[in-house]
Chain A
Amino acid sequence: MAGYILRRLLQAIPVLLGTTFLIYFMVFAMPGDPIVALFGDKTPPPQVIEALRERYHLDQPFIVQYFIFLGNIFKGDLGVSFSGQPVSEILMATFPVTLRLAAMAVFFEMVAGISIGLISGLRKGGIFDASALVVSLILISLPIFVLAFVMQWFFGIYLGWFRTTVGPGAPTQDLILPAIVLATISFAQIVRLTRASVIDTDGQDFVRTAASKGLTRGRIVPVHILRNSLIPVVTYLAVDFGTLMVGATVTEGIFNVPGVGRTLYQAIIRGEGPTVVSFVTIMVLIYLVVNLLVDLLYAVLDPRIRYAK
């Protein structure tokens, strides 16, 4: 097990190098000079442009810039944003917010999605199953910004139950609405996934064996059916959590959540190379870790899966 984890972590190094290089290249390859853009429609004196370019190493060839960046990363220095704030500080401020938002969203979609999916699967073809199908299809086909605006208007402005946007400090009660919006999309997927998986497991031999042994339905459903149906759902949830962790740009923008997605979006717009690359590097790391955890979780859920050596 330990060997397996070590191997996975070693594999992460080339992945990380490759992704940062690609991202750095893409940021660098963006046409136009971000320094010139800083001045809007005004043309700054050439000396000023030169000086600023030098400060951000933009006068160096691309590969040199990349190695300066890489060297700094190993020193723990993620660079400085145009506003003079260390990128590491921005990360520290925004990641906890996004983490809370993502955790809440995953919690909502898990509780609602798994329970509705389970009931649908157990009562396949019933009225509950049919209505769950219709609702989840509608939700899957809705673009998230439509849902976000509608929810914001209805619950925030019309009913006034929630704050329309997330207030300063991102208090948990303000995050409920955006978390529900985020959860809604994946919720539908989880319902479909759980339902299919439950139907599949319900027809397996060991379930019939358990029933013929005289076990009650109340014991068969949670212990035998649910647990064995959860593997695809957990995979999905974990990947979804990874996606949410790296920021839900649209939702964070609409609800003004001071999180990763919104900050990254603004950094891209401004052409702030250091911020973009550092954020994405951390995101790649999170993705790798989350995926590793998912693989390890399989073994816990299903003892038949073993990681030898």
Chain B
Amino acid sequence: MKIKRIGVAAIALAAAGALTLSGCTSGGADPSAPAGDATAVITTNGSEPQNPLIPTNTNEVGGGKILDAIFAGLVYYDAKGAAHNDVAESIETDDAQNYTIKLKADQKFTNGEPVTANSFVDAWNYGADTANEQLSQYFFESIDGFSYEESVPELPGLEVVDDTTFTVKLKQPESDFPLRLGYSAFYPLPESAFEDLAAFGESPVGNGAYMLDGEDAWKHNEKIDLVVNPDYDGPRKAVNGGLDIIFYASQDAAYADLQGGNLDVLDAIPDSALATFEDEFGDRAITQAAAIFQSFTIPARLPHFSGEEGNLRRQAISMAINRDEITDVIFAGTRTPAHDFTSPVIDGYSEEIPGSEVLDYNPEEAKKLWAQADAIAPWDGTFKIAYNADGGHQAWVDAVANGLKNDLGIDAAGDPYPTFAEARTKITDRTIQTAFRSGWQADYPALFNFLGPLYGTGAGSNDGDYSNPEVDTLLKEGLAETDIAAANEKFQAAQEILFQDLPAVPLWYSTVNGAWSEVVNDVEFGWNSVPLYYQITKSE
């Protein structure tokens, strides 16, 4: 796995400031892996996709897991979250705004069509066009000419140079653009897809390590059968014979199947088994941090939470939360206390950012800060944290509220909404008048993805309407850096300010819990908590 880290370092070393995601084609399966049965089919858990299987219209894990298996993007992510070239031969830029993307020659879709520059450009244009109402449309918003207001069938920022070369012009420099290209929204589509996208969504044709096992491989609400794509010759070449993704309505059923020997790999352990699965599966069990950050947001529009007073109160509240105890007692170790605003699986993550001590439990300091805030304007009322009652949040919200009661001596309580939909509606239309639970699951492994969309002024998911010009400047500067290490320095500097302002109070990172059966080997979970299926071997 070390070699993959070099892939990232190479970016920094690239001569003349050119950003090159140098190919690391030897990645993927460990070549020294014990030979499994190359025809054995891996069975794993999944869920019925909530949308047709069109890359730009899939934004949930059920469909994403399938798309990642049957498509190959320009880059792919290894277990550490680092990006390496897959279909791309090279991705180059001088200014982080104009990119030249060259594809490897002679790549094919499973229907025989060649993978060309047009396969990407046409697919992206389709996904970006407002008229097509694609769920992942926002991924294209930084490409020149993109608009939410009017239909743009062909983005001026995308230009095909020849069969294997195209250029991308962004609205502004965004150095992490290449890191996004492994996400499913950026997958290519064959020309035939556009003839009948509804039919395509039912039986998609990809260019990835796997392909659908025939026309009706997707048995709705039951499973989807994938076989190895013999034409795929990229870094994620499958070493097993295929993948059967079985759709479960409950994690308990999936876990019972793993115990009963009907399932090879499980990437979600039900709550009822969290305390026991590690004993039961031993070294076939895994607990690993996920790219999911959880927090609660205190909007500045709430009384007592603006300006100097607001910052003091936010810091006091943060220091009155005993994250270690809550993750340990309530979550049985399935959450890891937060040390920043991102996630440990992201390249560039650090626990040592100045100011992060505000996340340590410190009741004395908390009391002091709260008293200072009271000196500015005395506190009255109840501090409430809104959450959706259908998501298992009550326990921790109550624990946090009790902590605030005990350590700050104020009234604090949870404020449950019956459904996720209701809570989110209140949050997005800004009618909520309390603090509220928030969270972020990364779309692609980059620090900026945890910061820009959430804390940039006017950003799409900035539900607390946070605005700090210094943060905006640092984020912008970071995006303009073509060197990832330099960019990450800027992002960390932005986090230093976030630790003072605390637009969201970081709580913890989710972990992924998984287990697998005795017949499979080389199971590794990717940065996005999905097992790297292509490298799993099975002997039977």
Contact = CB atoms under 8 A, between A and B. Distances in A.
A38 B135 contact: yes
The interface residues of chain B, by DSSP majority, are classed as mixed
B417 A256 contact: no
A21 B303 CA distance: 43
A48 B135 CA distance: 8
A258 B256 contact: no
Interface in B222-254: 222-223, 246-250, 252-254
A107 interface: no
B248 A45 contact: no
B461 A266 contact: no
A54 to B, nearest CB: 9
B422 interface: yes
Interface in A100-146: none
A271 to B, nearest CB: 6
A256 B260 contact: no
B198 interface: yes
A168 B219 contact: yes
Contact of A83 (B49, B261, B424): B49
A96 interface: no
A255 to B, nearest CB: 7
Contacts of A44: 135, 138, 460
Interface in B392-439: 417-426, 428, 438-439
B441 interface: yes
B133 A32 contact: no
B249 A262 contact: yes
B221 A258 contact: yes
A30 B388 CA distance: 14
Contacts of A169: 219, 222
Interface string B116-155: 0000000000000010010101100000000011000000
Given A34-B421, A36-B428, A45-B138, A254 B253 contact: yes
Residue among A55, A253, A256 having the largest count of chain B Cβ atoms under 10 Å? A256
A285 to B, nearest CB: 21
Contact of B425 (A32, A41, A153, A165): A32
Contact of A37 (B220, B421, B461, B463): B421
Contact of A32 (B48, B253, B421): B421
B525 interface: no
B478 to A, nearest CB: 21
A164 interface: yes
A30 B461 contact: no
Residue among B149, B260, B418, B423 having the largest count of chain A Cβ atoms under 10 Å? B260
A94 interface: yes
Given A37-B421, A37-B424, A167 B262 contact: yes
B148 A31 contact: no
Given A47-B149, A258-B221, A84 B198 contact: yes
A211 interface: no
B441 A254 contact: no
A57 B130 CA distance: 18
Nearest to A266: B249
B468 interface: no
A253 B428 contact: no
Nearest to A93: B220
B201 interface: yes
Contact of A258 (B222, B428, B440): B222
B257 interface: yes
A6 B50 CA distance: 42
B256 A157 contact: yes
Contacts of B453: 42
Contacts of A55: 133
A165 B441 contact: no
Interface string B61-79: 0000000000000000000
Contact of B250 (A40, A90, A253): A253
Interface residues of A, number: 53
B426 to A, nearest CB: 8
A163 B130 contact: no
A169 B250 CA distance: 18
Contacts of A33: 421, 424-425
Contact of B51 (A31, A82, A258, A271): A82
Interface string A240-273: 0000000000001111101000110110011100
Contact of A36 (B130, B246, B253, B424): B424
Contacts of A43: 428, 460-463
Nearest to B202: A84
B259 interface: yes
Residue among B201, B417, B421 having the largest count of chain A Cβ atoms under 10 Å? B421
B294 to A, nearest CB: 9
B52 interface: yes
A55 to B, nearest CB: 7
Interface in B461-480: 461-463
A30 to B, nearest CB: 7
A89 B216 CA distance: 14
B256 A152 contact: yes
B539 interface: no
Nearest to B426: A32
B130 A51 contact: yes
A219 B256 CA distance: 49
Nearest to B138: A45
Interface string A292-309: 000000000000000000
Given A93-B220, A152-B256, A168-B222, A30 B249 contact: no
Nearest to A272: B50
B249 A85 contact: no
Interface in B152-194: none
A157 B48 CA distance: 25
23 contacts: A31-B419, A32-B423, A33-B424, A43-B463, A45-B460, A48-B137, A55-B133, A83-B49, A83-B220, A84-B51, A85-B220, A149-B252, A165-B248, A165-B253, A165-B256, A165-B262, A168-B222, A169-B219, A252-B249, A253-B249, A254-B253, A256-B254, A271-B419
Interface of A: 30-34, 36-45, 47-48, 51-52, 55, 82-85, 89-90, 93-94, 149, 152-153, 156-157, 160, 163-165, 167-169, 252-256, 258, 262-263, 265-266, 269-271
Report the 10 A-B pairs with minimum CB-CB distance, sorted nearest first: A32-B421, A32-B422, A164-B260, A37-B421, A31-B422, A256-B253, A84-B52, A164-B256, A47-B148, A33-B425
Given A165-B248, A253-B253, 15 more contacts: A30-B421, A30-B422, A37-B421, A40-B441, A42-B453, A83-B50, A90-B220, A149-B252, A153-B256, A164-B257, A164-B259, A254-B250, A254-B256, A256-B249, A262-B249
